[in-house]
Structure 1
Amino acid sequence: MEPQAQGTGTDEDGIGMIEIVVAMFVLAVLALAFLPVLTQGLLNSQRNSEIATATQLMSTQLELARSAGSTCSALIAFDAADPADVTVDGREYEIERSLIGACPDPAVTGTVLVDIEVRSDGRVLSTAQTRVFVGGA
């Protein structure tokens, strides 16, 4: 019986370099599989942020229209004042507002339809209409 030298074992001991490379390759493939999901999530988040900002700007404009005054001349002045473009987080938003229809007779109470539209990069992000009460003389 010959003594066996210490430190010599079979080829099956431990993890070999091939196994490590294969494991890294599998992890890389899984990471690449999740990349489109992450990219789409970031794009959706950015789009949702733009829409939320546009909706907030539109809501502010609707409140301004309601508080402009209870006469047709006040609403016409509100419509004539061109709202300034707003830049939020490096993105420019264009606000367009208009009166739809004619003001009622000054002696009669009625409503005037106000339309607000918010755009960015030529795309309409938010639009709404509200009726503003106009009192008689």
Structure 2
Amino acid sequence: MLGVLLGLSAALGFGIAAVFARVGLQDIKATTGTLVSLVVGTIITMALAFVFHTDAILKLAGVAFLWFLLSAFINFPLGRLLNFTGVSMAGVSKSAPIVGSSPLFATILAISIGGESINTMIAIGTLSIIGGLAMILSQR
């Protein structure tokens, strides 16, 4: 149950952040907003990580560090820039649900690269995401 509550809290946080980004991007470019967001986020995250998990960070295997580094590069600078640009151009109500379709891509990659299998619930969820995207993209 705690995992579900944490997931819902994260979803709420992402929704609020998208609205704040839209307001913040009214007078600046998406690249500037991305830079400010990354600098502030990096400082806060690194401070919290070192305060609460110093031992785990120092024991991290080199190959795991490289995977996290690759993930961080794709997710943070590139993902945030594209997200902020989308919010700036299309608005939060269209951009946020499209960004929220990331489970669709995670599922495709998990099956094709990670060797995971698909079951009925995953198939239903995937089709629901595709249907939601179709509805958003069909609106003018």
- Greater fraction of residues in helix: 2
State which structure, 1 or 2, has the greater radius of gyration over its C-alpha atoms.
Answer: 1
- Greater fraction of residues in strand: 1
Give the TM-score, by structure 2 length. Answer: 0.31
